[in-house]
């Protein structure tokens, strides 16, 4: 089985290291800079359970070096996929499956869903439909990513907690390709449940990211602080209820109550969200996939989003001022 992981940051690096250490697949990553140099020199190093291991991973600067793959795992952030399409293209053969590991509303959301919105392309996450046209939704295996992982230094990945990567076909079928990939991930020591309704799981994670990420960026607060404060907790709850109405209009099942989801976020503790970390480090922020895409879905379903709209305007203004939003 030939697998290439495109985007060898924290999540991509962790997944690459686990698969490489299992030694069952022909694995490669596309990387660059000091990260690439370190991997070529000494392997991809992983710190897990207090132990450091070097995984022998083939690293390439250009996808042309690797050729067509059985699976391409996109571990980029959502806003980085479209600019990378030319680099991804050489990895795609006739039967290549593409696993999307982005947070937020995926560009393929309305592929295989059925109903009046079938085939709708979301401008907020796929401007002009470029990803839909170049990759094609028929290739897609959806994924929801849960591990907490950090890049401690070039070529060095540190696993904090969690091993679950939920997988699912947009159609809901348990296809041979998704089953085979799940089996390989499990044999590498990961959890890879195959879901019949990957969209509902996407929404449960999005529920928190939509609200806590931008509020965190606007206030500089951790998850615990947002939940402990009456005002910010109420604002997050209002955003989540607006999102729930949209999701349910699209047929999504929310398996937990909103207040339980909020409590779960608070229980994480003094954790800075990824959006706040990106703001502090001057990196592009995932506003479109996490916030603006929900606004677009609200318009498509005729569901009002006043709280989301207000927070979206504020966080986009802040991000533009800091050079973190195009």
Query: Active-site positions?
Result: 205
Please, what is the angle between helix 274-281 and helix 198-219, to 10°?
A: 40
- Helix ranges (H only) for the chain are 10-22, 33-42, 85-88, 130-134, 176-187, 198-219, 223-228, 230-249, 258-267, 274-281, 287, 293-301, 306-321
Closest CA to 318 of 209, 237, 223, 219: 219
Sign of torsion over alpha carbons 299, 303, 304, 307? negative
Distance between CA 33 and CA 12 in Å, rounded?
Answer: 16
Q: Is 206 left (phi over 0), alpha (psi -120 to 50) or beta?
A: alpha
Compute CA distances 97 → 73, 93, 178, 230, whole Å. Answer: 8, 9, 9, 45
């Amino acid at each position: 089985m030939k697998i290439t992981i495109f985007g060898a940051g924290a999540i991509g690096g962790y997944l690459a290291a686990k698969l490489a250490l299992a030694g069952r697949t022909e694995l490669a990553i596309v990387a660059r800079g000091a990260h690439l140099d370190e991997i070529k020199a000494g392997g991809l190093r992983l710190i897990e359970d207090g132990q450091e291991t070097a995984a022998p991973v083939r690293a390439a600067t250009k996808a042309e070096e690797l050729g067509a793959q059985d699976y391409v795992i996109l571990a980029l952030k959502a806003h980085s996929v479209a600019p990378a399409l030319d680099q991804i293209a050489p990895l795609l053969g006739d039967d290549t499956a593409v696993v999307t590991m982005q947070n937020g509303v995926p560009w393929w959301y309305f592929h295989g869903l059925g109903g009046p919105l079938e085939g709708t392309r979301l401008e907020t996450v796929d401007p002009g439909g470029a990803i839909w046209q170049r990759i094609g939704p028929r290739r897609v295996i959806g994924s929801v990513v849960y591990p907490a992982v950090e890049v401690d230094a070039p070529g060095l990945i540190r696993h904090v907690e969690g091993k679950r990567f939920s997988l699912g076909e947009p159609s809901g079928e348990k296809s041979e390709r998704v089953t085979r990939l799940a089996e390989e991930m499990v044999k590498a020591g990961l959890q890879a449940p195959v879901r019949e309704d990957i969209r509902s799981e996407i929404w449960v994670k999005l529920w928190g990211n939509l609200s806590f990420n931008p509020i965190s960026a606007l206030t500089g607060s951790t998850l615990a602080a947002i939940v402990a404060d009456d005002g910010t907790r109420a604002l997050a709850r209002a955003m989540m209820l607006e999102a729930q109405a949209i999701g349910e209009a699209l047929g999504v099942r929310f398996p937990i109550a909103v207040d339980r989801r909020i409590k779960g976020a608070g229980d994480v503790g003094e954790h800075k969200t990824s959006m706040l970390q990106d703001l502090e480090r001057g990196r592009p922020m995932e506003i479109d996939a996490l916030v603006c895409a929900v606004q677009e879905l609200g318009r498509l379903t005729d569901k009002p989003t006043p709280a989301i709209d207000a927070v979206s305007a504020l966080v986009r203004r802040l991000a533009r001022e800091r050079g973190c939003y195009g």
